Chains A and B, each alone.
Chain A
């Protein structure tokens, strides 16, 4: 498909003989017989497993106010952004939805962080530059 698109952009190919611009068949590398000393294509055995965010594998619920409060500012109660929490897209969305639900249903305070949870371990790096 890419070759056809390329051909459409070069109408001069029909006027000029192929011998001048095409690579001669002898030197083309695609049709060559398979040789045993060529490298075997395999998956990188030293590749790292995919990076996991803090919440990978943890079920996020609107009732779990302690977990949700870890991603909220203690001073204003605003939800931290992705660059601060370091969560993957899916989990960040889930957390945001759960926090908003908890606000509306009367489980979590809105303007501040529940003082009970102020001494929880810090998951978010607030000093992270944008």
Chain B
């Protein structure tokens, strides 16, 4: 199953409420057949810009990162579900950025002037 990363910004709340919100999210994910690998807390920080959500203007939020393996069919229903949750300010599903990407860079290969001229679109 492909790996996804769910970047979640929750409303700045007290610890028990945040825990409850996360528990709700993870349970909803597992219900739909996702395997949650890891849950990271990136801390509570002030948002880069004020976000209006669910009739409230938020300035601070708790950033969370959920590493999961899930079938692609749950992405849309999960986004809907999180959209209806009043504690979630922003949600984002991304394909998990694998760490092996950076190894293949071979440096800037110089392009000869003839190639540059022949490939010009004009």
A58–B97 Cα gap in the complex (Å)? 13
**Contacting pair A105 B49 (CB below 8 A):** no
Whether a CB of chain A sits under 8 angstroms from the CB of B110 is yes
| Selected contact of A105 from candidates B90, B103, B108, B109, CB within 8 Å | B90
* Nearest-neighbor residue (CB-CB) of A53 within chain B: B108
Whether a CB of chain B sits under 8 angstroms from the CB of A51 is yes
**Contacting pair B106 A50 (CB below 8 A):** yes
| Selected contact of A106 from candidates B48, B65, B102, CB within 8 Å | B48
**Contacting pair A107 B48 (CB below 8 A):** yes
**Contacting pair A108 B48 (CB below 8 A):** yes
Contacts A57-B103, A90-B105 known; A105 to B7 CB distance under 8 Å?
Answer: yes
Please, which residues of chain A bring their CB within 8 A of the CB of B51? 106
Please, which residues of chain B bring their CB within 8 A of the CB of A50? 106-110
Within 8 A of A (CB), among B76-116: 89-90, 92, 94, 97, 99, 101-103, 105-110
**Contacting pair A106 B9 (CB below 8 A):** yes
Contacts A106-B61, A110-B49 known; A57 to B97 CB distance under 8 Å?
Answer: no
Whether a CB of chain A sits under 8 angstroms from the CB of B47 is yes
A126–B105 Cα gap in the complex (Å)? 25
**Contacting pair B106 A105 (CB below 8 A):** no
Q: A-contacting residues of B (Cβ < 8 Å)?
A: 7, 9, 42, 47-49, 51, 61, 63, 65, 89-90, 92, 94, 97, 99, 101-103, 105-110
Q: B-contacting residues of A (Cβ < 8 Å)?
A: 49-53, 56-63, 88, 90-91, 101, 104-111, 114
The 8 A-B pairs at the shortest CB distance, nearest first, are namely: A50-B107, A109-B48, A59-B102, A52-B107, A56-B105, A105-B92, A88-B108, A106-B90
